[in-house]
Amino acid sequence: MNRYVVVMASAMLLLLLGTTGFKSSNSLPRQTITADTSKWPSTFSFGKVATEQQIDSVAIAILPNGTGLPPGLGTPKEGNVIYITKCASCHGANGKAAAGEKLPAPELASDSISKIKTIGNYWPYATTIFDYVRRAMPYNAPGSLTNNEVYSITAYLLSANNIIKPDMVINAHNLYKINMPARKLFIPDDRRGGPEVR
Partner 1 sequence: MDEPIEKPGEEPVKNKISRRFLLGGAATTAIVLLQSSLTKWVQTAGAQTLIKNGDPTKITGAGPSTVGKRSLFEKPVRLTSDTSSRTPLQDLYGTITPSDLHYERHHAGVPVIDPDKYELLIHGMVGKPMVFKLSDLKRFPSVTRTCFLECSGNFRTSKETMTPQEICGLTSQSEWTGVMLSTLFREVGVEPKATWFLAEGSDAALLTRSIPVKKGWDDAMIVYAQNGEAIRPEQGYPARLLLPGWEGNTNVKWIRRVELSDQPFMTREETSKYTYPVKDKIRQFSFEMDARSIITYPAYPNQLERGWVEIRGIAWSGRGKIIKVEVSTDAGKSWNATNLQEPVLDKAHTYFRHLWQWRGDETEILSRAIDETNYIQPTLRQLIEARGISASGYHMNPITAWQIKRDGKVLFKPESFK
Q: Does 62 bind partner 1 (CB under 8 A)?
A: yes
Q: Does 48 bind partner 1 (CB under 8 A)?
A: yes
Q: Which is nearer to partner 1, 2 or 195 (CB)?
A: 195
To the nearest whole angstrom, how small is the minimum distance from the Cβ of residue 138 to partner 1?
11
Q: Does 31 bind partner 1 (CB under 8 A)?
A: yes
Q: Which residue from 126, 134, 141 is spatially nearest to 173, judged by alpha carbons?
A: 126
Site string for partner 1, 126-165 (x = CB under 8 A): -xx--xx--xx--x--xx----------------------
* 161 close to 177: Cβ distance less than 8 angstroms: no
Q: Does 49 bind partner 1 (CB under 8 A)?
A: yes
Q: Does 121 bind partner 1 (CB under 8 A)?
A: yes
Task: Please enumerate in sequence order all residues whose Cβ is within 8 A of that of 151, keeping only pairs 6 or more positions apart, or say none.
Answer: 72, 73, 74, 79, 130, 170, 171, 175
Q: How far apart are CA 149 and CA 53, in angstroms?
A: 24
Q: Does 191 bind partner 1 (CB under 8 A)?
A: yes
Task: Give how far Cα 172 sits from Cα of 37, 67, 69, 154, Å.
Answer: 45, 9, 5, 12
Q: How far apart are CA 107 and CA 16, in angstroms?
A: 62
Q: Does 65 bind partner 1 (CB under 8 A)?
A: yes
> Among 24, 25, 43, 112, which residue interacts with partner 1 (rule: CB under 8 A)?
43
What are the backbone dihedrals phi and psi of residue 130, each rounded to the nearest 5 degrees, phi first? Answer: -60, -50
Site of interaction with partner 1 (CB under 8 A) = 28-31, 33-35, 37, 40, 43-44, 46-50, 54-55, 58-65, 115, 117, 119, 121-125, 127-128, 131-132, 135-136, 139, 142-143, 182, 185-195, 197-198
